[in-house]
């Protein structure tokens, strides 16, 4: 493993962990964490060096998100989505777009977000209903995106739409500008409470060809070849981080929870069995996620299969580990005196966040039997 994982763990402990409780309790976007991320110019992780960025890759992306998630899943999720949008610009953007945006991203000046989900198509975010039409005044965008993470806090949003040039999809980079509004009171999540996830309404938003990412009608290919690997792997890293946090927390608690005879909770054989299980599942999810990242970096033929499988596994592991950790923690955990309750709530988001585990399981089954996805 490269050194970036340990470096980012240290960064997260100092600059992310101190704000995690408040982010959850107040459903507050992690502005303080992102101030530190921007200051250290970690927004430029995937920006090529020629544009002033760190020039790193999908493996570094997975390790960094995993490290952040070990302190705060909300911050890791928002940061992961920024990386996904950044990589799409770096890979498919025009030279004009790259020259305009990438140096600013690398310098920590702007933050990006994804706006793919729509209420009409659910987790099938590759089937947008949002429209872009040509008028005498140029291109006009109308529609509504749902569950836009980092809403109000991002400077630009990567979104997909039906193409004005015929069949197919387009990706666009849209600034938070006139005609873009958010339904601010919509998000009150069970977990991931600081995501600032809310609907985004686009009403006669004027865009131009300069906002298009890549060639016309190629967004579908971009989504599954560029966006999906970084996004799905990023989610795997997020929920693996949740599982690792739960495992580390409950093992530490079991060692320090003492009875009147000075014996510890961890001295009980049943607890030892439970601890063994949470450690094994969380560590397995970590190794699976990082192996999938390595496979993607190497360009292995089955890399996408590994990524999808790692994400499904991490989603299941997070819920199972947190549930078992709650059992170990007993009344103390149930009474919210340790963070297991928060981690369990965060873990539940893994099952429903697009693409959901049900959708991904179908994709995996198709991929393993040589059928096209989606």
315-330: pLDDT as tens digits: 999 999 999 999 999 9
The answer to whether 335 and 342 have CB atoms below 8 angstroms apart is: no
245-303: pLDDT as tens digits: 999 999 999 999 999 999 999 999 999 999 999 999 999 999 999 999 999 999 999 99
Q: Is residue 346 very low, low, confident or very high in pLDDT (cuts 50, 70, 90)?
A: very high
Of the candidate ranges 274-278, 282-286, 347-351, 353-357, the one whose mean pLDDT is the lowest: 353-357
What is the pLDDT at residue 118?
86
Shortest CA distance to 255 belongs to which of 270, 271, 233?
271
What tokens does 237 get? 């890293």
Round to whole Å and give the CA distance between 114 and 86.
10
Beta strands in 217-338 (DSSP E): none
| Average pLDDT, rounded, for the chain | 94
Q: Is residue 1 very low, low, confident or very high in pLDDT (cuts 50, 70, 90)?
A: very low
What is the pLDDT at residue 123?
56
What is the pLDDT at residue 202?
96
Residue 206 pLDDT > 90: yes
Q: How many CA atoms lie within 13 A of 148 on its CB side?
A: 32
Widest pairwise Cα distance in the chain: 82
What is the pLDDT at residue 248?
98
What is the pLDDT at residue 121?
61
Shortest CA distance to 64 belongs to which of 11, 8, 6, 2?
8
> What pTM was estimated for this model as a whole?
0.96
Per-residue burial over 208-221, b if 16 or more Cβ lie within 10 Å, else e, is eeebbbbeebbbbe
The answer to whether 94 and 210 have CB atoms below 8 angstroms apart is: yes
Q: Using CB atoms within 10 A of its CB, is residue 102 exposed (0-12), middle (13-18) or buried (19+)?
A: buried
Q: Is residue 177 very low, low, confident or very high in pLDDT (cuts 50, 70, 90)?
A: confident
Round to whole Å and give the CA distance between 336 and 364.
37
What is the pLDDT at residue 122?
57
Please name each of the domains of the chain with its CATH number.
4-111 (1.10.540.10), 115-216 (2.40.110.10), 220-367 (1.20.140.10)
The answer to whether 158 and 85 have CB atoms below 8 angstroms apart is: yes
């Amino acid at each position: 493993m490269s050194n970036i994982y340990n470096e980012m763990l240290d960064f997260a402990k100092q600059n992310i962990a101190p704000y995690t409780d408040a982010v959850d309790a107040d459903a507050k976007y992690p502005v303080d964490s992102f101030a530190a991320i921007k200051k250290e110019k970690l927004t430029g992780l995937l920006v090529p060096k020629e544009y002033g960025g760190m020039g790193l890759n999908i493996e570094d992306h997975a390790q960094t998100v995993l490290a952040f998630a070990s302190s705060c899943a909300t911050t890791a999720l928002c940061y992961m989505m920024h990386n996904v949008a950044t990589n799409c610009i770096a890979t498919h953007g025009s030279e004009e777009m790259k020259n305009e945006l990438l140096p600013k991203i690398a310098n920590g000046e702007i933050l990006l977000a994804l706006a793919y989900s729509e209420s009409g198509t659910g987790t099938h975010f590759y089937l947008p209903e949002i429209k872009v039409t040509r008028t005498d005044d140029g291109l006009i965008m109308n529609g509504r995106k749902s569950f836009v993470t980092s809403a109000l806090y991002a400077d630009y949003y990567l979104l997909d739409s039906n193409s004005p040039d015929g069949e197919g999809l387009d990706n666009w980079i849209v600034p938070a500008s006139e005609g873009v509004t958010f339904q601010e009171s919509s998000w009150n999540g069970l977990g991931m409470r600081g995501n600032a996830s809310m609907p985004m309404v686009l009403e006669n938003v004027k865009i131009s060809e300069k906002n298009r990412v890549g060639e016309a009608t190629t967004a579908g290919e971009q989504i599954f070849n560029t966006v999906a690997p970084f996004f799905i792997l990023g989610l795997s890293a997020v929920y693996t981080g949740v599982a690792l946090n739960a495992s580390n927390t409950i093992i530490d608690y079991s060692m320090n929870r003492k009875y009147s005879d000075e014996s510890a909770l961890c001295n009980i054989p049943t607890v030892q069995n439970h601890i063994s299980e949470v450690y094994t599942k969380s560590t397995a999810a970590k190794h699976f996620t990082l192996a999938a990242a390595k496979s993607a970096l190497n360009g292995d033929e089955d890399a996408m299969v590994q990524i999808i499988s790692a994400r499904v596994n991490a989603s299941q592991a997070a819920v199972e580990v947190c549930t078992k950790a709650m059992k170990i923690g007993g009344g103390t955990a149930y009474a919210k005196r340790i963070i297991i309750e928060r981690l369990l709530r965060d873990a539940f988001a893994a099952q429903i966040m697009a693409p959901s585990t049900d959708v991904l399981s179908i994709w995996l089954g198709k991929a393993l039997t040589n059928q096209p996805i989606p």
